[in-house]
Structure 1
Protein backbone atom coordinates (compact mmCIF):
# COMPACT_ATOMS: atom_id res chain seq x y z
CA UNK A 1 0.00 0.00 0.00
CA UNK A 2 2.68 2.49 1.00
CA UNK A 3 4.83 1.54 -1.98
CA UNK A 4 1.92 2.42 -4.23
CA UNK A 5 1.27 5.79 -2.63
CA UNK A 6 4.95 6.74 -2.82
CA UNK A 7 5.12 5.65 -6.44
CA UNK A 8 2.01 7.69 -7.32
CA UNK A 9 2.68 10.76 -5.22
CA UNK A 10 6.43 10.85 -5.11
CA UNK A 11 8.36 10.95 -1.85
CA UNK A 12 8.83 14.73 -1.93
CA UNK A 13 5.13 15.36 -2.49
CA UNK A 14 4.06 13.03 0.32
CA UNK A 15 6.58 14.53 2.73
CA UNK A 16 5.44 18.05 1.85
CA UNK A 17 1.84 17.13 2.69
CA UNK A 18 2.89 15.70 6.06
CA UNK A 19 5.06 18.74 6.79
CA UNK A 20 2.26 21.21 6.00
CA UNK A 21 -0.13 19.17 8.15
CA UNK A 22 2.21 19.20 11.14
CA UNK A 23 3.28 22.83 10.74
CA UNK A 24 -0.28 24.12 10.60
CA UNK A 25 -1.63 21.92 13.38
CA UNK A 26 1.30 22.44 15.78
CA UNK A 27 1.28 26.21 15.23
CA UNK A 28 -2.47 26.35 15.84
CA UNK A 29 -2.27 24.20 18.98
CA UNK A 30 0.63 26.25 20.36
CA UNK A 31 -1.30 29.49 19.96
CA UNK A 32 -4.50 27.92 21.27
CA UNK A 33 -2.70 26.55 24.33
CA UNK A 34 -1.34 29.96 25.30
CA UNK A 35 -4.77 31.58 24.92
CA UNK A 36 -6.60 28.69 26.60
CA UNK A 37 -4.39 28.46 29.69
CA UNK A 38 -4.85 32.17 30.39
CA UNK A 39 -8.59 32.01 29.75
CA UNK A 40 -9.04 28.86 31.83
CA UNK A 41 -7.04 30.48 34.64
CA UNK A 42 -9.27 33.56 34.61
CA UNK A 43 -12.40 31.42 34.67
CA UNK A 44 -11.07 28.89 37.16
CA UNK A 45 -9.81 31.36 39.75
CA UNK A 46 -12.00 34.38 39.07
CA UNK A 47 -15.54 35.22 40.07
CA UNK A 48 -17.21 37.89 37.97
CA UNK A 49 -20.51 38.69 36.35
CA UNK A 50 -21.09 36.81 33.13
CA UNK A 51 -18.72 33.98 34.01
CA UNK A 52 -21.39 31.35 33.55
CA UNK A 53 -22.34 32.73 30.17
CA UNK A 54 -18.71 32.73 29.03
CA UNK A 55 -18.23 29.14 30.18
CA UNK A 56 -21.37 28.14 28.28
CA UNK A 57 -20.08 29.85 25.14
CA UNK A 58 -16.76 28.02 25.42
CA UNK A 59 -18.46 24.66 25.94
CA UNK A 60 -20.71 25.36 22.96
CA UNK A 61 -17.61 26.25 20.93
CA UNK A 62 -16.36 22.69 21.31
CA UNK A 63 -19.02 21.72 18.80
CA UNK A 64 -18.54 24.57 16.33
CA UNK A 65 -19.24 23.30 12.78
CA UNK A 66 -15.91 23.50 11.00
CA UNK A 67 -17.43 24.66 7.72
CA UNK A 68 -19.08 27.60 9.50
CA UNK A 69 -15.76 28.56 11.09
CA UNK A 70 -14.11 28.30 7.68
CA UNK A 71 -16.77 30.53 6.15
CA UNK A 72 -16.34 33.17 8.87
CA UNK A 73 -12.55 33.17 8.48
CA UNK A 74 -12.99 33.33 4.70
CA UNK A 75 -15.18 36.44 4.99
CA UNK A 76 -12.80 37.95 7.54
CA UNK A 77 -9.72 37.56 5.36
CA UNK A 78 -11.26 38.15 1.94
CA UNK A 79 -10.63 41.37 0.01
CA UNK A 80 -14.01 42.64 1.17
CA UNK A 81 -13.32 41.69 4.78
CA UNK A 82 -12.05 43.91 7.61
CA UNK A 83 -8.54 42.42 7.46
CA UNK A 84 -8.06 41.39 3.86
CA UNK A 85 -9.57 44.61 2.51
CA UNK A 86 -7.56 46.94 4.77
CA UNK A 87 -8.98 49.86 6.73
CA UNK A 88 -8.50 53.56 7.43
CA UNK A 89 -7.87 55.14 10.81
CA UNK A 90 -8.90 58.72 11.33
CA UNK A 91 -10.67 61.17 13.62
CA UNK A 92 -14.02 62.92 13.03
CA UNK A 93 -13.44 66.12 11.12
CA UNK A 94 -9.75 65.39 10.60
CA UNK A 95 -9.91 62.88 7.81
CA UNK A 96 -7.81 59.83 7.29
CA UNK A 97 -4.65 59.75 9.38
CA UNK A 98 -3.38 56.31 8.44
CA UNK A 99 -4.39 53.87 5.77
CA UNK A 100 -3.73 50.21 6.37
CA UNK A 101 -3.64 48.08 3.25
CA UNK A 102 -5.10 44.61 3.06
CA UNK A 103 -3.07 41.51 3.73
CA UNK A 104 -2.96 38.46 1.49
CA UNK A 105 -3.70 35.72 4.00
CA UNK A 106 -6.48 33.84 2.26
CA UNK A 107 -5.46 30.51 0.73
CA UNK A 108 -2.25 30.41 2.75
CA UNK A 109 -1.14 28.23 5.68
CA UNK A 110 -1.66 31.26 7.95
CA UNK A 111 -5.37 31.30 7.17
CA UNK A 112 -5.50 27.59 7.97
CA UNK A 113 -3.81 28.24 11.32
CA UNK A 114 -6.39 30.92 12.13
CA UNK A 115 -9.28 28.56 11.44
CA UNK A 116 -7.72 25.78 13.50
CA UNK A 117 -7.05 28.15 16.41
CA UNK A 118 -10.75 29.04 16.47
CA UNK A 119 -11.66 25.35 16.53
CA UNK A 120 -9.03 24.13 19.01
CA UNK A 121 -9.20 26.93 21.59
CA UNK A 122 -12.64 26.02 23.04
CA UNK A 123 -11.57 22.37 23.35
CA UNK A 124 -8.32 23.12 25.17
CA UNK A 125 -9.94 25.79 27.35
CA UNK A 126 -12.83 23.57 28.41
CA UNK A 127 -10.65 20.57 29.29
CA UNK A 128 -8.11 22.76 31.10
CA UNK A 129 -10.87 24.47 33.08
CA UNK A 130 -12.28 21.10 34.10
CA UNK A 131 -8.82 19.99 35.22
CA UNK A 132 -8.38 23.13 37.34
CA UNK A 133 -11.82 22.83 38.92
CA UNK A 134 -11.31 19.13 39.68
CA UNK A 135 -8.21 19.75 41.83
CA UNK A 136 -8.86 18.70 45.42
CA UNK A 137 -9.82 21.79 47.50
CA UNK A 138 -7.42 20.59 50.19
CA UNK A 139 -4.56 21.58 47.87
CA UNK A 140 -5.72 25.20 47.95
CA UNK A 141 -6.26 25.05 51.70
CA UNK A 142 -2.79 23.61 52.26
CA UNK A 143 -1.22 26.30 50.07
CA UNK A 144 -3.01 29.03 52.03
CA UNK A 145 -2.05 27.42 55.34
CA UNK A 146 1.58 27.40 54.24
CA UNK A 147 1.41 31.15 53.82
CA UNK A 148 1.07 31.18 50.07
CA UNK A 149 -0.16 34.26 48.27
CA UNK A 150 -3.11 34.18 45.88
CA UNK A 151 -0.69 33.82 42.96
CA UNK A 152 1.20 31.05 44.75
CA UNK A 153 -2.04 29.14 45.39
CA UNK A 154 -2.96 29.43 41.72
CA UNK A 155 0.44 28.10 40.67
CA UNK A 156 0.06 25.16 43.08
CA UNK A 157 -3.36 24.32 41.64
CA UNK A 158 -2.12 24.54 38.06
CA UNK A 159 0.78 22.22 38.94
CA UNK A 160 -1.71 19.68 40.24
CA UNK A 161 -3.79 20.05 37.08
CA UNK A 162 -0.84 19.67 34.70
CA UNK A 163 -1.85 16.16 33.63
CA UNK A 164 -5.23 17.53 32.62
CA UNK A 165 -3.44 20.22 30.64
CA UNK A 166 -1.55 17.55 28.71
CA UNK A 167 -4.87 15.88 27.93
CA UNK A 168 -6.30 19.22 26.83
CA UNK A 169 -3.41 19.85 24.43
CA UNK A 170 -3.75 16.36 22.98
CA UNK A 171 -7.48 16.88 22.50
CA UNK A 172 -6.81 20.20 20.79
CA UNK A 173 -4.22 18.62 18.53
CA UNK A 174 -6.65 15.88 17.59
CA UNK A 175 -9.26 18.50 16.72
CA UNK A 176 -6.75 20.44 14.62
CA UNK A 177 -4.97 17.63 12.77
CA UNK A 178 -8.25 15.93 11.80
CA UNK A 179 -9.83 19.14 10.52
CA UNK A 180 -10.92 19.18 6.88
CA UNK A 181 -13.89 21.52 6.34
CA UNK A 182 -12.47 24.87 7.42
CA UNK A 183 -8.93 24.29 6.08
CA UNK A 184 -10.39 23.26 2.75
CA UNK A 185 -12.37 26.51 2.58
CA UNK A 186 -9.66 28.95 3.69
CA UNK A 187 -6.63 27.00 2.41
CA UNK A 188 -7.89 25.96 -0.99
CA UNK A 189 -6.14 22.54 -0.97
CA UNK A 190 -3.35 23.93 -3.15
CA UNK A 191 -0.40 21.95 -4.49
CA UNK A 192 2.30 23.68 -6.57
CA UNK A 193 3.76 22.09 -9.69
CA UNK A 194 7.56 22.04 -9.61
CA UNK A 195 8.20 20.78 -13.14
CA UNK A 196 8.46 17.38 -14.72
CA UNK A 197 5.09 16.37 -13.34
CA UNK A 198 6.30 16.78 -9.75
CA UNK A 199 4.43 18.85 -7.18
CA UNK A 200 4.65 19.95 -3.57
CA UNK A 201 1.98 20.90 -1.10
CA UNK A 202 1.31 24.56 -0.32
CA UNK A 203 -1.95 24.31 1.63
CA UNK A 204 -2.77 20.64 1.10
CA UNK A 205 -2.95 18.62 4.31
CA UNK A 206 -3.47 14.93 4.85
CA UNK A 207 -7.20 15.38 5.43
CA UNK A 208 -7.76 17.51 2.33
CA UNK A 209 -5.58 15.16 0.28
CA UNK A 210 -7.73 12.24 1.45
CA UNK A 211 -10.86 14.15 0.42
CA UNK A 212 -9.38 14.84 -3.02
CA UNK A 213 -8.33 11.24 -3.58
CA UNK A 214 -11.73 9.92 -2.49
CA UNK A 215 -13.48 12.26 -4.91
CA UNK A 216 -11.27 11.01 -7.72
CA UNK A 217 -12.02 7.40 -6.84
CA UNK A 218 -8.48 6.65 -5.66
CA UNK A 219 -9.68 4.82 -2.56
CA UNK A 220 -6.50 2.85 -2.00
CA UNK A 221 -4.45 6.05 -1.96
CA UNK A 222 -6.99 7.69 0.34
CA UNK A 223 -6.79 4.77 2.77
CA UNK A 224 -2.98 4.87 2.73
CA UNK A 225 -3.06 8.59 3.53
CA UNK A 226 -5.52 7.86 6.31
CA UNK A 227 -3.10 5.34 7.79
CA UNK A 228 -0.37 8.00 7.73
CA UNK A 229 -2.71 10.42 9.52
CA UNK A 230 -3.64 7.85 12.15
CA UNK A 231 0.03 7.02 12.68
CA UNK A 232 0.79 10.68 13.39
CA UNK A 233 -2.15 10.94 15.80
CA UNK A 234 -1.11 7.77 17.62
CA UNK A 235 2.50 8.94 17.84
CA UNK A 236 1.50 12.29 19.36
CA UNK A 237 -0.86 10.65 21.84
CA UNK A 238 1.82 8.11 22.73
CA UNK A 239 4.24 10.96 23.43
CA UNK A 240 1.62 12.60 25.63
CA UNK A 241 1.15 9.38 27.59
CA UNK A 242 4.91 9.14 28.13
CA UNK A 243 4.98 12.71 29.47
CA UNK A 244 2.09 12.01 31.85
CA UNK A 245 3.60 8.74 33.07
CA UNK A 246 6.96 10.40 33.76
CA UNK A 247 5.18 13.20 35.58
CA UNK A 248 3.31 10.77 37.82
CA UNK A 249 6.54 8.89 38.51
Structure 2
Protein backbone atom coordinates (compact mmCIF):
# COMPACT_ATOMS: atom_id res chain seq x y z
CA UNK A 1 0.00 0.00 0.00
CA UNK A 2 2.77 2.45 0.92
CA UNK A 3 4.63 1.73 -2.32
CA UNK A 4 1.46 2.14 -4.36
CA UNK A 5 0.89 5.57 -2.81
CA UNK A 6 4.38 6.66 -3.86
CA UNK A 7 4.41 5.14 -7.33
CA UNK A 8 0.76 5.94 -7.98
CA UNK A 9 1.37 9.65 -7.58
CA UNK A 10 -1.09 10.11 -4.71
CA UNK A 11 -1.98 13.81 -4.84
CA UNK A 12 -2.29 14.27 -1.08
CA UNK A 13 1.02 12.56 -0.37
CA UNK A 14 2.99 14.56 -2.93
CA UNK A 15 1.34 17.82 -1.90
CA UNK A 16 2.65 17.17 1.61
CA UNK A 17 6.12 16.37 0.27
CA UNK A 18 6.23 19.52 -1.86
CA UNK A 19 5.10 21.71 1.05
CA UNK A 20 7.78 20.15 3.25
CA UNK A 21 10.47 20.87 0.66
CA UNK A 22 9.20 24.42 0.11
CA UNK A 23 9.22 25.26 3.82
CA UNK A 24 12.63 23.73 4.49
CA UNK A 25 14.33 25.18 1.40
CA UNK A 26 13.01 28.66 2.16
CA UNK A 27 14.21 28.31 5.75
CA UNK A 28 17.69 27.27 4.61
CA UNK A 29 17.95 30.17 2.15
CA UNK A 30 17.00 32.69 4.85
CA UNK A 31 19.21 31.01 7.45
CA UNK A 32 22.15 31.08 5.01
CA UNK A 33 21.62 34.79 4.34
CA UNK A 34 21.88 35.38 8.10
CA UNK A 35 24.25 32.64 9.21
CA UNK A 36 27.02 32.88 6.62
CA UNK A 37 27.80 36.59 7.13
CA UNK A 38 27.51 36.09 10.90
CA UNK A 39 29.85 33.10 10.87
CA UNK A 40 32.35 34.88 8.63
CA UNK A 41 32.29 37.97 10.85
CA UNK A 42 33.02 35.87 13.93
CA UNK A 43 35.83 34.09 12.07
CA UNK A 44 37.78 37.13 10.91
CA UNK A 45 36.63 39.75 13.39
CA UNK A 46 38.59 40.66 16.49
CA UNK A 47 36.46 42.42 19.08
CA UNK A 48 35.63 42.17 22.81
CA UNK A 49 33.18 39.37 23.57
CA UNK A 50 33.97 37.41 20.42
CA UNK A 51 34.79 34.20 22.27
CA UNK A 52 31.60 34.48 24.31
CA UNK A 53 29.57 34.89 21.11
CA UNK A 54 31.22 31.81 19.61
CA UNK A 55 30.38 29.78 22.72
CA UNK A 56 26.79 31.06 22.58
CA UNK A 57 26.52 30.23 18.89
CA UNK A 58 27.75 26.69 19.49
CA UNK A 59 25.27 26.31 22.35
CA UNK A 60 22.41 27.48 20.14
CA UNK A 61 23.09 24.57 17.79
CA UNK A 62 21.51 22.36 20.44
CA UNK A 63 18.35 24.41 20.95
CA UNK A 64 15.42 22.12 21.91
CA UNK A 65 12.88 22.32 19.06
CA UNK A 66 9.89 22.53 21.41
CA UNK A 67 11.44 25.55 23.12
CA UNK A 68 11.96 27.21 19.74
CA UNK A 69 8.37 26.37 18.86
CA UNK A 70 7.16 27.95 22.09
CA UNK A 71 9.23 31.11 21.55
CA UNK A 72 7.98 31.56 17.98
CA UNK A 73 4.42 30.79 19.07
CA UNK A 74 4.53 33.48 21.76
CA UNK A 75 5.95 36.02 19.31
CA UNK A 76 3.37 35.28 16.61
CA UNK A 77 0.30 34.81 18.82
CA UNK A 78 -2.31 37.57 18.87
CA UNK A 79 -0.95 38.91 22.15
CA UNK A 80 2.66 38.67 20.94
CA UNK A 81 4.78 41.45 19.42
CA UNK A 82 4.34 40.06 15.88
CA UNK A 83 0.73 39.00 16.23
CA UNK A 84 -0.41 41.75 13.87
CA UNK A 85 1.26 39.84 11.01
CA UNK A 86 -1.17 36.93 11.49
CA UNK A 87 1.47 34.35 10.62
CA UNK A 88 0.60 31.77 13.28
CA UNK A 89 -0.60 28.47 11.79
CA UNK A 90 0.76 29.34 8.36
CA UNK A 91 3.77 28.03 6.41
CA UNK A 92 5.45 31.35 7.22
CA UNK A 93 5.44 30.52 10.92
CA UNK A 94 6.98 27.14 10.19
CA UNK A 95 9.70 28.78 8.11
CA UNK A 96 10.50 31.18 10.96
CA UNK A 97 10.80 28.30 13.44
CA UNK A 98 13.11 26.38 11.12
CA UNK A 99 15.22 29.49 10.48
CA UNK A 100 15.78 29.84 14.24
CA UNK A 101 16.87 26.21 14.43
CA UNK A 102 19.04 26.15 11.30
CA UNK A 103 20.80 29.54 11.47
CA UNK A 104 23.14 28.58 14.37
CA UNK A 105 24.17 25.42 12.51
CA UNK A 106 25.07 27.26 9.31
CA UNK A 107 26.72 30.12 11.20
CA UNK A 108 28.84 27.81 13.37
CA UNK A 109 29.99 25.65 10.45
CA UNK A 110 30.74 28.75 8.37
CA UNK A 111 32.81 30.20 11.21
CA UNK A 112 34.85 27.01 11.54
CA UNK A 113 35.54 26.87 7.81
CA UNK A 114 36.43 30.54 7.37
CA UNK A 115 38.52 30.62 10.55
CA UNK A 116 40.58 27.65 9.35
CA UNK A 117 41.15 29.25 5.95
CA UNK A 118 41.94 32.63 7.51
CA UNK A 119 44.63 31.05 9.67
CA UNK A 120 46.08 29.34 6.58
CA UNK A 121 46.07 32.31 4.21
CA UNK A 122 46.12 35.34 6.50
CA UNK A 123 49.83 36.11 6.02
CA UNK A 124 49.53 35.90 2.23
CA UNK A 125 46.43 38.09 2.19
CA UNK A 126 47.93 40.66 4.57
CA UNK A 127 51.12 40.80 2.47
CA UNK A 128 48.94 41.68 -0.52
CA UNK A 129 47.36 44.48 1.46
CA UNK A 130 44.00 42.75 1.82
CA UNK A 131 42.27 43.59 5.10
CA UNK A 132 40.47 40.97 7.18
CA UNK A 133 37.08 42.28 6.14
CA UNK A 134 38.00 42.45 2.46
CA UNK A 135 39.31 38.88 2.59
CA UNK A 136 35.90 37.44 3.54
CA UNK A 137 34.60 36.95 -0.05
CA UNK A 138 37.83 35.19 -1.02
CA UNK A 139 37.71 32.93 2.02
CA UNK A 140 34.03 32.12 1.47
CA UNK A 141 34.70 31.17 -2.14
CA UNK A 142 37.70 29.04 -1.21
CA UNK A 143 35.60 27.30 1.43
CA UNK A 144 32.58 26.80 -0.81
CA UNK A 145 32.63 23.01 -0.44
CA UNK A 146 32.46 23.31 3.34
CA UNK A 147 29.73 25.94 3.02
CA UNK A 148 27.66 23.66 0.79
CA UNK A 149 28.09 20.98 3.44
CA UNK A 150 26.78 23.43 6.03
CA UNK A 151 23.75 24.19 3.87
CA UNK A 152 22.99 20.51 3.42
CA UNK A 153 23.37 19.91 7.15
CA UNK A 154 20.94 22.75 7.77
CA UNK A 155 18.46 21.36 5.26
CA UNK A 156 18.66 17.93 6.87
CA UNK A 157 17.92 19.51 10.24
CA UNK A 158 14.99 21.47 8.85
CA UNK A 159 13.29 18.73 6.83
CA UNK A 160 13.32 16.34 9.82
CA UNK A 161 11.85 18.85 12.29
CA UNK A 162 8.51 18.02 13.92
CA UNK A 163 8.24 19.57 17.40
CA UNK A 164 8.54 23.25 16.51
CA UNK A 165 6.61 23.11 13.24
CA UNK A 166 3.62 21.34 14.74
CA UNK A 167 3.42 23.97 17.50
CA UNK A 168 3.47 26.99 15.19
CA UNK A 169 1.89 25.37 12.13
CA UNK A 170 -0.91 23.44 13.78
CA UNK A 171 -0.66 20.52 11.32
CA UNK A 172 -3.64 21.87 9.35
CA UNK A 173 -4.62 19.72 6.37
CA UNK A 174 -3.72 21.27 2.99
CA UNK A 175 -2.21 24.29 4.79
CA UNK A 176 0.62 23.38 7.18
CA UNK A 177 0.75 19.59 7.13
CA UNK A 178 4.29 18.45 6.31
CA UNK A 179 5.92 15.03 6.20
CA UNK A 180 7.03 14.76 9.81
CA UNK A 181 3.77 15.99 11.33
CA UNK A 182 1.71 13.81 8.97
CA UNK A 183 3.71 10.72 9.92
CA UNK A 184 2.96 11.36 13.59
CA UNK A 185 -0.74 12.01 12.91
CA UNK A 186 -1.35 9.08 10.55
CA UNK A 187 0.46 6.67 12.87
CA UNK A 188 -1.80 7.71 15.75
CA UNK A 189 -4.84 7.18 13.48
CA UNK A 190 -3.64 3.76 12.38
CA UNK A 191 -3.19 4.82 8.74
CA UNK A 192 0.17 3.12 8.44
CA UNK A 193 0.24 3.12 4.63
CA UNK A 194 0.47 6.92 4.44
CA UNK A 195 2.88 7.05 7.40
CA UNK A 196 5.18 4.44 5.85
CA UNK A 197 5.08 6.09 2.43
CA UNK A 198 6.07 9.47 3.85
CA UNK A 199 8.62 7.80 6.11
CA UNK A 200 10.24 6.12 3.11
CA UNK A 201 10.42 9.43 1.23
CA UNK A 202 11.85 11.20 4.28
CA UNK A 203 14.48 8.49 4.72
CA UNK A 204 15.32 8.79 1.03
CA UNK A 205 15.83 12.54 1.42
CA UNK A 206 17.93 12.02 4.56
CA UNK A 207 20.13 9.42 2.83
CA UNK A 208 20.56 11.69 -0.20
CA UNK A 209 21.56 14.64 1.98
CA UNK A 210 23.98 12.49 4.02
CA UNK A 211 25.56 11.08 0.86
CA UNK A 212 25.93 14.58 -0.59
CA UNK A 213 27.57 15.83 2.61
CA UNK A 214 29.99 12.87 2.59
CA UNK A 215 30.90 13.41 -1.06
CA UNK A 216 31.45 17.12 -0.53
CA UNK A 217 33.57 16.45 2.56
CA UNK A 218 35.70 13.95 0.62
CA UNK A 219 36.08 16.43 -2.22
CA UNK A 220 37.13 19.11 0.25
CA UNK A 221 39.78 16.81 1.71
CA UNK A 222 41.17 16.03 -1.75
CA UNK A 223 41.25 19.72 -2.60
CA UNK A 224 43.08 20.44 0.65
CA UNK A 225 45.67 17.76 -0.11
CA UNK A 226 46.29 19.19 -3.58
CA UNK A 227 46.84 22.65 -2.07
CA UNK A 228 49.13 21.30 0.64
Normalising by structure 2, we get a TM-score of 0.87
State which of 124, 131, 149 in structure 2 corresponds to 1:167: 149
Instruction: Give per-residue Cα distances to partners, 1:131-152, cap 9 Å, x unaligned.
Output: 1122263422122223434444
Residues of 2 paired with 1:150 and 1:118: CA distance?
28
State which of 87, 91, 110 in structure 2 corresponds to 1:109: 91
Residues of 2 paired with 1:239 and 1:167: CA distance?
8
Structure 2: gaps (5+ residues): none
State which of 106, 114, 118 in structure 2 corresponds to 1:124: 106
Instruction: Give per-residue Cα distances to partners, 1:2-35, cap 9 Å, x unaligned.
Output: 344359x972111110111011000000000010
* Contact 1:143–1:152 under 8 Å retained in 2: no
Residues of 2 paired with 1:48 and 1:176: CA distance?
32
Corresponding position of 1:210: 183
Q: Which protein has greater RCO, CA pairs closer than 8 Å, 6+ apart?
A: 2
Q: Let me know the Cα RMSD of the aligned residues.
A: 2.5
Structure 1: gaps (5+ residues): 85-101, 192-200
* Contact 1:61–1:122 under 8 Å retained in 2: yes
State which of 112, 128, 131 in structure 2 corresponds to 1:146: 128
Corresponding position of 1:39: 38
Higher-helix-fraction structure: 2
* Contact 1:37–1:125 under 8 Å retained in 2: yes
Normalising by structure 1, we get a TM-score of 0.80
Corresponding position of 2:61: 62
Query: Cα distance, 1:241 vs. partner?
Result: 6.1
* Contact 2:169–2:176 under 8 Å retained in 1: yes
* Contact 1:105–1:111 under 8 Å retained in 2: yes
Instruction: Give per-residue Cα distances to partners, 1:141-181, cap 9 Å, x unaligned.
Output: 12222343444433332222222111111111111000000
Residues of 2 paired with 1:24 and 1:45: CA distance?
32
Residues of 1 paired with 2:42 and 2:100: CA distance?
18
Larger Rg: 1
Higher-strand-fraction structure: 1
Instruction: Give per-residue Cα distances to partners, 1:27-72, cap 9 Å, x unaligned.
Output: 0000000100110111011111111221111111111110111111
Corresponding position of 2:196: 223
